[in-house]
């Protein structure tokens, strides 16, 4: 079955630690995206990538980093520079920018 | 800039209709609509592209007024399964970089 997987589902981190969230897709999509969602709010774009080895900052990129070394993978690192990282993180992919975005199940990150 | 959705919430009885609006302060290349149930990932409903092309599920209808920079989603003969939070995402520069509204919570009761 084709789809997007994110791991882990729940993640707990101590303040000051970096943590990496995994996102893998087997849909052969060129474009991939990372969003952050806070309780009761909409999605905000962190980073996006339209092609391998290229990515662009979204609206809230500060404190986050990404890489796109393979078409199917787009990991997100939440660094210690991110002041308030507790949130629900969603990864998405699309064939092209004119197609729907398919979302993974999300990772819920809590900073202790 | 984030699009504005209205209303913030709506309660419907099964079989009733509702309209959700999405308004942008910038010219739009496309509008995407998604529904999210609590704790789950958003699910795609429809894309409306500049020029009139639409892609989406047959049971969902929406409109896109390029001049007014607005889109509306129509929930017709609502079912219990329509409950959830509806988000519009707008692309203003044709790069697939979406900005999402704050959402419209829809509750359908028996």
- The yes-or-no verdict on residue A94 having pLDDT over 70 is yes
Residue with tokens 């909409």: A42
| Residue contact B41–A106, C-beta within 8 A | yes
- The yes-or-no verdict on residue B67 having pLDDT over 70 is yes
Mean pLDDT, residues A45-60? 94
Task: Confirm if B47 and B20 have CB atoms less than 8 A apart.
Answer: no
| Residue contact B103–A106, C-beta within 8 A | no
Contacts of B89 (CB under 8 A, 6+ apart): A43, A101, B3, B31, B32, B33, B34, B98, B99, B100, B101
pLDDT confidence of A71, banded at 50, 70, 90? very high
Return the C-alpha torsion angle B89, B93, B97, B103, nearest 10: -20
pLDDT confidence of A37, banded at 50, 70, 90? very high
What pLDDT is stored for residue A83 in this prediction? 87
Test the A interface: residue of B28, B33, B42, B99 with most A CBs within 10 Å: B42
| Residue contact A100–B44, C-beta within 8 A | yes
CA distance linking residue B73 with residue B31, whole number of Å? 11
- The yes-or-no verdict on residue A29 having pLDDT over 90 is yes
pLDDT confidence of B95, banded at 50, 70, 90? confident
- The yes-or-no verdict on residue B57 having pLDDT over 80 is no
Give the single-character DSSP code of B1: -
Omega into A33 within 30° of 0, i.e. cis? no
Q: Give the percent of chain B with pLDDT over 90.
A: 78
pLDDT confidence of A52, banded at 50, 70, 90? very high
Q: Kindly state the tokens that stand for B89.
A: 């995402």
Task: Find chain B residues with C-beta within 8 A of A56's C-beta.
Answer: 95, 97
What pLDDT is stored for residue B4 in this prediction? 96
- The yes-or-no verdict on residue A36 having pLDDT over 90 is yes
Mean pLDDT, residues A25-33? 95
pLDDT confidence of B21, banded at 50, 70, 90? very high
- The region that residue A72 occupies, defined by phi over 0 for left and psi between -120 and 50 for alpha, beta otherwise, is alpha
pLDDT confidence of A1, banded at 50, 70, 90? low
């Amino acid at each position: 079955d084709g789809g997007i997987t994110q791991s882990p589902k729940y993640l707990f981190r101590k303040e000051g630690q970096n943590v990496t969230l995994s996102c893998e897709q087997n849909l052969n999509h060129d474009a991939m995206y990372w969003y952050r969602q806070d309780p009761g709010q909409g999605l905000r774009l962190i980073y996006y990538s339209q092609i391998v080895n290229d990515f662009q900052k979204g609206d809230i990129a500060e404190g986050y980093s990404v890489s796109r070394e393979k078409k199917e993978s787009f990991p997100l690192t939440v660094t210690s520079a991110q002041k308030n990282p507790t949130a629900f993180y969603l990864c998405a992919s699309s064939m092209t920018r004119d197609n729907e975005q398919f979302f993974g199940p999300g990772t819920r990150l809590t900073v202790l | 800039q984030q699009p504005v959705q209205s209303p913030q919430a709506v309660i419907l009885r099964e079989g009733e209709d509702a309209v959700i609006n999405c308004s942008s302060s910038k010219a739009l290349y496309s509008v995407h609509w998604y529904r999210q149930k609590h704790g789950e990932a958003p699910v795609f409903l429809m894309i409306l592209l500049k020029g009139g092309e639409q892609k989406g599920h047959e049971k969902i209808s929406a409109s896109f007024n390029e001049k007014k920079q607005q889109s509306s989603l129509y929930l017709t003969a609502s079912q219990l399964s329509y409950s959830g939070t509806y988000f519009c995402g707008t692309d203003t520069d044709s790069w697939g970089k979406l900005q999402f509204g704050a959402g419209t919570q829809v509750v359908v009761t028996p």
